[in-house]
Amino acid sequence: MVSRRLSGPAMAALTSMLLLATGASAQAQALTVYSAGPDALIERLAADFTEQTGIAVNVFQSTTGQVMARLEAERANPLADVVISASWDSATSLADEGLLHEYLSANANQVPDFLKTDYYVAQGVSALALVWNRNSDSPAPKDWSDLTDAAYANQVTMPDPAQSGAAFELVTGLLTSMGEEGTWSLLEALVDNGMIVPGPNARALNPVLQGAKSVVFGAVDYISLGQQADGEAIDVIFPESGTVIAPRPMMILASTAQPDEAEQFVDFVLSEQGQKRVAESYLMPARDDIDALRPTLGELTLIDVDAEEMNAQRDAILSRFRDVTGHQ
């Protein structure tokens, strides 16, 4: 056999071809995950998963409304493999349409039954709260209705339930506990007292963090708990009359070309390592054997909502909310 040494240009061409082949292989193996915040959590989970498995992860992170809008826009050519939403109803709707891959991870054994189905499982759980700026001139509220008092005139914000899955959960909780008349009367009184609905969760929270407003009505607790831990002068107050939880469903799309890798990702998020990452973001871990850094289900007064019934009325509820608040 005659051995021949490749010339410099030939070697460079061969190296380039190998790199392209390797890159194509890696790209084919990459998972695409769409996730409603927190962005730091999904980035850490993706990095940990890649380190453990060698499987690359492409992440799109946004609000629940934008994630669901992107899925709808891509329906004819789905790009996502795994979706993590902040609205349980979104997973129910996708499952009802037959768009989800059936999978229940063995790591879900420690997840309570009401936080899992054969098609989706909670990544973690948040709750809705009042967030009050301690440096404001307004007193610390104790319950939702306190914010109708003159002491909170022009000092209250609320996330838009059309853009925040968690805020929609709150409205359904109020409808469950207070009834239609009580809920819409409360929201009318809040608007009359100067409450604004500036947009998604962050837009409602930022004015309170900055001191321009005093209280968020229906803040997602884990975001505010994280801000508080970082030194912000805010308190996270869970109303005495009760609040609602917002489980974050994690699901695999039926259209995925990589079901095995997607299942591995779900397994990882529900592993002890993955759930500790969830806890670090001040969410309640989905697994009940992982310690949390915040109040958990047994420490909160919860409103039991019929999610299926409320989701069936979603369009009507959002329409009434817009009419009552004047927010379009």
Q: Is 222 known to sit in a ligand binding site?
A: yes
3-state secondary structure the chain: CCCCCCCHHHHHHHHHHHHHHHHHHHHHHCEEEEEECCHHHHHHHHHHHHHHHCCCEEEEEECHHHHHHHHHHCCCCCCCCEEECCCHHHHHHHHHCCCECCCCCHHHHHCCHHHECCCEEEEEEEEEEEEEECCCCCCCCCCHHHHHCHHHCCCEEEECCCCCHHHHHHHHHHHHHHHHHHHHHHHHHHHHCCCEEEECHHHHHHHHHHCCCCEEEEEEHHHHHHHHHCCCCEEEECCCCCECEEEEEEEEECCCCCHHHHHHHHHHHCCHHHHHHHHHCCCEECCCCCCCCCCCHHHCCECCCCHHHHHHCHHHHHHHHHHHHCCC
Residue positions forming the annotated binding site? 222
Residue positions forming the annotated binding site for Fe cation? 222
